[in-house]
Structure 1
Amino acid sequence: MIHFHFQKYKYGKELLVDCFNLSEIPGQSISMKEPHAASFYEIFFFLKGSGSMVLDGKKLDFKSPAIVLLPPARPRQWVLKSVPECMMIIFEGEFMEAFLKDHLFLNRLYFFGNYDSPPLLPVTNKNMQYFHELLHAIKKEIRNLSEDSQQLLRAYLYQLLIVLNRHYTACYNLKGNLYRNTDILKFKELLRQHIREKQKVAEYAELLRMNRNRLNQLCKEVFGKDAHTIIRDELLQSCKNELLLTTKTIAEISYEYNFSAPSNFVRLFKTQTGLSPAAYRGQYAN
């Protein structure tokens, strides 16, 4: 598995956001056939063309105009007959979190933390034109950096992410509340931090200092499923990333994620995905 890391000093001074045309990076990212992942947030704006990507073992087709939104460490493999016309914006999480003094902001966006709806947003030509103009403003500012560019770029990105979230929630009939219950946002953040050692509802309810019944109620109100299911989904996604992004053995992953035996890990994984961990890893290797 190939890993991409953010080039903070590409423009001399440290900058944690970048915007460019895909044609500017030949031989990298979407034009690669090999499975790969990035350590930063990525948003692809497909202006012309079509293709597919393999994500979590499933093939996802897209046709322009469309947008693909990927959080860090999300393994993918592109299946393209030709490289589409595409603009990209990439950024590190701290670029927005430090500006807003809200480390939960990116958790408020449905498209970066949602395993039920695909990370694909079909849009109209009119909507894509709006995004295209905003991206060009971002790109122009990056190419002509000044003392106050960091603040303007954060404002542009903030605007872009909120408008994208509105379109995404409307597309998939989600509740669309960008500022939903803070306890739920903390729950999602705690999951990412502790999923390796904690997989019980009671453990997260204790960290949140609330009754487990209250946590289940909040999860059902916001996500339409109980806390146990959300924990299981996060566990499976994290294990999938380990399978694709590392060379750890099945046994090593099972013990790292607090399974009592590798067979229990294999059983859960196969029940939920229909594939054994080895077969899931093999799909990408082949």
Structure 2
Amino acid sequence: MVREPLQQTELQAERFSGYLEKHYEHLHRPHRHSFYHMVLFTSGEGMHTIDFDRFEVKPFQVYCMIPGQVHSWHFTAPVDGYVVNFPDHFFRDFLYNPYYLERFPFFSGISAEGVFQLPASLQKKVPALFDELIAAALDAAAPPDMNRVLLLRILLLMSNAVAGYPAKAIPEQKKMILHNLRRLIDMHYKSIRLPKEYADLLYITPNHLNALCKDLLGQTAGELIRNRVLLEAKRLLINVNKTVAEIAYELDFQDNSYFNRFFKKYEGVTPDEFRKQFLK
């Protein structure tokens, strides 16, 4: 798997056509970033695969990805728009909140939540702000906080635009428990696999945790944990430099055969078959 080479100490913003020209060789192959990656298309056609979910590229569609997600592009017509990359610490000192970006629904790390259509009311305003951001990023005399303010305006405008998308309102307490559960699973999925252990970390009962997950996500807590392990397994399998045995060890499986049985049970193919199918 390709990991995009990038000196990621500050924000980078540019038109997508120029970005594509510079990185064309590997953008069509599965790769992952160590930074936040956001794209707004203003024209073009094609497909975008994020964590093995496919989306059709359309004008005024926004893609938001967090560090670690795997994606690739397949364009069928000339594309343009805007791309912004920034490190996870970009807002940390500015806002004194290490978890600030987690409040935005499109930075959840769930591919379907990170793709949305920009409403008509913002189709002039947001691109104009992207143009300002590009100009500020190129201006060596501009104060660094100018980039942060402009990007924050874009994120807040987009967040307000997608705020009405959920089918039902979620009480804040339930939303916070779910948010903390996802964060804990991301931190510990390799070593903690039992819902009871996550319930203990959240100071709630396993029954309460399962009821909440079923109500809000239609999944049990166990399925949520398992799906996170499977997602990471698939991300790692794209890296041809790692053997299946090495991936099994990295994901804390007892042995390679157990990992093979686990993967085939839920994906319908063995890890080797998945790797061959996807890379083909």
Q: Identify if the C-alpha distance between structure 1 residues 230 and 87 changes in structure 2 by more than 3 Å, giving closer, same or farther.
A: same
Q: TM-score, normalised on structure 2? A: 0.85
The answer for the alignment partner of 1:134 in structure 2 is: 129
The aligned residue for residue 12 of structure 1 is none
Instruction: State the distance in 2 between where 1:245 and 1:204 align.
Output: 30
CA RMSD of aligned residues (A): 2.9
Query: Is this contact kept in 1: 2:50–2:111, CA < 8 A?
Result: no
**Is 1:160 matched up with 2:148?**
no
Provide the residue aligned with 1:278 in structure 2: 272
Distance 1:181-1:35 versus aligned 2 partners, 3 A rule: closer
1:205 corresponds in structure 2 to 199
Q: Could you tell me which amino acid in structure 2 is paired with residue 81 of structure 1? A: T
Alignment equivalent of 2:243, drawn from 246, 249, 263: 249
Q: Which residue of 2 aligns with 1:190?
A: 184
**2:238 aligned counterpart, secondary structure:** helix
Judged with a 3 Å threshold, the aligned counterparts in structure 2 of structure 1 residues 44 and 284 are, in CA distance, closer, same or farther, namely same
The answer as to 2:32 corresponding to 1:71 is no
Whole-Å separation in 2 of the counterparts to 1:219 and 1:279: 31
Q: Which letter maps to 2:145?
A: Q
Could you tell me how far apart the structure 2 residues matched to 1:108 and 1:266 are?
36
Aligned partner of residue 49 in structure 1, secondary structure: strand
**CA drift at 1:174:** 6.4
TM-score (norm 1): 0.83
> How many pairs were matched up?
279
Q: CA deviation at 1:30?
A: 8.6
Q: Does 1:107 align with 2:91?
A: no
Q: Tell me the residue number matched to 1:236.
A: 230
Matched, 1:258 2:252: yes
Q: Deviations over 1:149-172 (max 9, x none)?
A: 332322222232233233334346
Change (3 A) 1:41 1:248: same
**CA shift for structure 1 position 78:** 1.4
Provide the C-alpha distance between the structure 2 equivalents of 1:229 and 1:48, rounded to a whole number of angstroms: 38
1:146, distance to aligned residue in structure 2 (A): 4.0
Distance 2:6 2:172 in 1: 27
CA distance in 2, matches of 1:159, 1:227: 35
Evaluate the alpha carbon distance shift between residue 271 and residue 170 of structure 1 in structure 2; reply closer, same or farther with a 3 A threshold. farther
* Structure 2 SS opposite 1:225: coil
Change (3 A) 1:16 1:219: farther
Q: Return 5+ residue gaps in structure 2 as ranges.
A: none
Uncovered stretches (5+) of structure 1, i.e. residues with no partner: 9-14
Q: CA deviation at 1:230?
A: 1.7
Shift in CA distance, 180/102, structure 1 to aligned 2, threshold 3 Å: farther
